[in-house]
Amino acid sequence: MPLQMKKEDFLSNKDNKQQFVNMLGDCLKSDGNNVRHASGDADVLIVLTAIESPQHHDTVLIVEDTDLLVLLFHHIKDAKNKVFFTTEPKKMSLKPIKCWDITTARSLLGPSLCEHLLFLHAVSGCDTTSRLYGVGKQAVLTKARKDAFLIQQARVFMDLTSSKEEIVKAVERAVVHLYNGKPHESVDVLRLQKFHSLCVYLQVQTWMSNTCALSPDQWGWKSVQGKLVPVLTDLPPAPQELLDIVRCNCKSGCNTARCTCLKNGLECSMACGDCKGVCENCSVFPSDVMEEDDSDSLL
C-alpha cells in the first residue's frame, strides 16, 4: 500500500521509523545482503563496518555527517585496500564531488592528531555538544598542530578511567587555551558551563565504543519523558520566590523573545496563562504527545 502522507511526517514518529528500519533490514537480508542494526548511535557501527570491508575491496562511504569523517580518521589504522569518504551529489549541482582518501589524508594529519581528533571535534561542537562561540574547527586544529598542550588535555578524555574532576579541569585548561586566556583563568571567567565538559567526555567515549560502563544521566544529560535532554544547570536560574511570579500569556508557540519565560531562560509551566506549560518552550513538546497518540493510526 503506497504511503499516503509526507515522508517527513511518517518518520517523525519513532515507532514508524523503527518498524520501517526493521522491515528494510529484512528485505535487504532476503536479497543476500549483510545487515547490522545499531542498538544506539549508529555512527560508530557504520564506521567500523566500513573499515572492515577494505580487507576484501575498496570501500566508499557516502554520508553528509562530519562526525563520520572524524570517526574514520580516528579508527582506521592499517587496511589492505582503500577507504574513501564522499557526500551524495546534490540535484542540479554542477560542482565537482569531493572525495577523500582516508588513509592518505590520515598520513598528512599525522597519527597523534588523528588519535585525539575525537576530543578536538567534540569540544569545539558536534551534534551532541555545544559550539564554542568564536572558535572554529580550523582554529582548533591549528592550535593542536602547533603545540602539545591541547593534546595533553585530550588524553584525559581518551581515558575511560578519568574522574569528573579531572575531566572538568582538563576542559577548563583546553577552553582557556583556545580563547588565548591566561593560565590562572577558569571557565567561569570565560562563561562556559561545566556540563559541556561532561557531554564532550561521554561523546568521545561513545565514538571510541567505550560506553558500556557509562550512563548518560551521569555525564551532562537527564531523561525527560523517555528522551535525553542536556542538563543546563544544577542550580535554579533564580530564587524560587522570583520563579513563582514569572509566567507568560503567549497565545501561540512561546518560541520568540516576546515570551516572558523564554526571555528569562525559563521553561513555561502550569502557571502560564494560555499554554499551561505545553508549548515549544518546554522539555516535552506537543509533537511528542501527538506522536504517542497517533502512533497506532500511522502504522
pLDDT of residue 187: 53
Confidence of residue 132 (pLDDT cuts 50, 70, 90): confident
Residues 136 and 216: their CA atoms lie apart, in Å, by 27
Supply the mean pLDDT for the chain: 79
**231 pLDDT above the threshold of 80:** no
pLDDT tens digits for range 37-48: 887 778 888 888
Single-letter code of the amino acid located at 30: S
pLDDT of residue 258: 86
- Ramachandran quadrant class, 191 (left: phi over 0; alpha: psi -120 to 50; beta: rest): left
Least confident stretch, 89-93, 152-156, 175-179, 184-188: 184-188
Q: φ, ψ for residue 115 (rounded to 5)?
A: -65, -35
> Are 218 and 191 spatial neighbours (Cβ–Cβ below 8 Å)?
no
Side-by-side strand order, sheet with 59-62: 59-62, 83-86, 99-101
Residue 227 host element (H or E): strand 227-230
pLDDT average, residue stretch 45-64: 81
Model confidence, pTM: 0.60
Residues 220 and 171: their CA atoms lie apart, in Å, by 14
Q: What is the DSSP string of 157-221?
A: HH-TT--HHHHHHHHHHHHHHHTT--TT--TTTTT--THHHHHHHHHHHHHTT--TT--GGGTTE
**238 pLDDT above the threshold of 70:** no
Q: Where are the alpha helices (DSSP H) in the chain?
A: 7-11, 14-30, 42-52, 66-75, 102-109, 111-115, 117-123, 137-146, 149-158, 164-178, 195-207, 240-243, 260-263, 286-298
pLDDT of residue 185: 57
pLDDT average, residue stretch 240-248: 72
**125 pLDDT above the threshold of 80:** yes
CA 156 to chain centre: 20
Least confident stretch, 59-73, 230-244, 270-284: 230-244
Domain boundaries, the chain: 7-109, 115-222, 237-291
